[in-house]
Amino acid sequence: MSRCIELGQKYIMNSYNRFPITISHGEGVYIYDDTGKKYLDMCAGIAVNALGYSHKGLRDALKEQVDKLLHISNLYYVPQQIETAKRLIENSIFDKVFFCNSGAEANEAALKLARKYGKSKGENKTKIITMHHSFHGRTYGALSATGQAKYQKSFMPIMEGFSYADYNDIDSLKALIDESTCAVLLEVIQGEGGIIPGNKAYLKEVQQFCHQYDALLIVDEVQTGIGRTGTLFAFENFDIQPDVITLAKALGGGVPIGAMLCNAKADVFVPADHASTFGGNPLATTAAQVVLDELITNNLLAHVKEMGAYLESELNKLKEAFSVITDVRGMGLMQGIALNIAPKDVVNKCIEKGMLVVGAGENVVRFVPPLIISKEQIDECISILKVALKEL
């Protein structure tokens, strides 16, 4: 065991199952551990490092900002934050942004917004419906929204007022939604739940029910947003118009940042309703500007569409060749293979062969690489996967 791992086990709380790897640096879509071993990174810090590692534009912008100003309170106007908000609003259907630091925090903001919206219509309009197999984060509100008992059971009682519907089953939602519902919160592709895409007709019906009962439709785009599926936000692929979305992960390209976007109808916060000391600080929003410019202005979105389609078709070819792969699903550069063998074995074998992938749900291996990945690097991913599956 390396000294670093030994010290990590001694000093860091035991809340993660870690692989015995210590990463020292990265370049493009590759990362290197402290023994010099190179890995093709199909995990990207779990859908975070959109521009890969050591991206020159991102590095230069951050260095310049570090020399100018790291932090300033939200008691003042922050130009970098305003520029980022402008990009998000001008390229979306939304009107306002609230910045925070993570996905869970963005969802906390959305839950509070929903409750306030509901209360403006009636004191008891507080019910929030989320989905089984969803994942929204580990803080109490986000954990309560997460429709998976395994994450909640050691921490009961969770927040009250949540009901869980079966995903992609409109009757299940119909049975729960009523006048007391202030919001429906869902992912358009369930990520941690096992890369489960929503059905377009279903999502449109969910939207109709939200309109009927005057409930906000909130889409958690923490994993799917910021170009992952080939559009800036994944909901754009499903012909729906949510009232609120939440973002984090890829938004800062590796610098922690979260955001909640809402339309004018849902824009109900007033001063002191919600806040975050670090939310939208100059450093994080400088990073977000670079990521958004790469996606929107420098055609990275088109690249994701092309590479996503290629990855999906190559994974489908692999499915024909390997009976252990029972399904290939996802969108853009968010793909999963369902397996009838333990995904952990595949993940470990891939690591041995020099590639990082990550599990999702009970039986899925997930591919969420940096969005800059090339066709040749996807070919490399497929060859490593082939070798790994052959050896298992």
Task: Please tell me whether residue 314 binds ligand PLP under the rule CB under 6 A.
Answer: no
234 binds ligand PLP (CB under 6 A): no
Q: Choose which of 223, 263, 281, 335 interacts with ligand PLP (CB under 6 A).
A: 223
- CB-nearer residue toward ligand PLP: 230 or 252: 252
Binding to ligand PLP (CB under 6 A) within 102-131 occurs at: 102-104, 107
Q: Which one, 231 or 377, has the nearer CB to ligand PLP?
A: 231
Nearest by Cα to 190 from 138, 147, 237, 227: 147
Rounded Cα distance, 172 and 169, in Å = 6
Stretch that binds ligand PLP, among 79-87, 219-227, 305-313, 315-323 (CB under 6 A): 219-227
- State the residue for tokens 């923490």: 222
Tokens found for residue 271: 């001063």
Contacts of the segment 81-84: beta carbons below 8 A, 24+ positions apart = 81/280, 81/281, 81/282, 81/285, 83/285, 83/289, 84/280, 84/285, 84/288, 84/289, 84/292
Report the nearest approach of ligand PLP to the CB of residue 187 (Å).
5
Q: Which of 231, 389, 360, 353 is nearest to 300 (CA)?
A: 231
Identify the H or E element spanning 7: helix 3-11
354 with 42: CB under 8 angstroms?
no
Nearest residue to ligand PLP on Cβ basis: 103
41 vs 187 by CB, closer to ligand PLP: 187
Instruction: State the minimum distance, in angstroms, from the CB of residue 139 to ligand PLP.
Output: 7
In 3D space, the residue among 183, 218, 215 whose CA is nearest the CA of residue 106 turns out to be 218
User: Which residue number, 192 or 294, has a Cβ lying nearer to ligand PLP?
Assistant: 192
Backbone torsions φ then ψ of 88, nearest 5 degrees: -65, -40
Q: Does 145 bind ligand PLP (CB under 6 A)?
A: no
Nearer to ligand PLP, 87 or 136 (CB): 136
CB of 99 to ligand PLP, least distance (A): 13
CA 325, 315, 51, 83 torsion: positive or negative? Answer: negative
Looking at the Cβ atoms of 135 and 209, the one nearer to ligand PLP is: 135
> Is 249 an active-site residue?
yes
Shortest spacing between CB 191 and ligand PLP, in angstroms: 4
Query: Quick check: 222 binds ligand PLP (CB under 6 A)?
Result: yes
What would the x/- binding string for ligand PLP be over residues 179 to 218, using CB under 6 A? --------x---xx--------------------------
CB of residue 281 vs ligand PLP: minimum separation in angstroms? Answer: 16
Other beta carbons within 10 Å of 38: 13
Report 239-268 residues binding ligand PLP (CB under 6 A).
Answer: 248
Q: Which of residues 70-109 bind ligand PLP (CB under 6 A)?
A: 102-104, 107
346 touches 315 (CB < 8 A): no
CA separation for the pair 65, 220 (Å, rounded): 30
220 is known as an active-site residue: yes
What is the rounded CA–CA span in Å between residue 251 and residue 261? 13
Out of 99, 135, 162, 209, the active site residue is: 135
* By CB under 6 A, residue 137 contacts ligand PLP: yes
Strands in 65-198 per DSSP E: 96-100, 127-131, 162-165, 181-186, 189-190, 196-197
Residue 135 annotated to the active site: yes
Catalytic residue among 125, 127, 249, 349: 249
Size of the site for ligand PLP (CB under 6 A): 14
Regarding beta strands 162-165 and 127-131, do their DSSP bridges make them parallel or antiparallel, or are they unpaired? Answer: parallel
Catalytic (active-site) positions: 135, 220, 249
Residues at the contact surface with ligand PLP, assessed by CB under 6 A: 102-104, 107, 135-137, 187, 191-192, 220, 222-223, 248
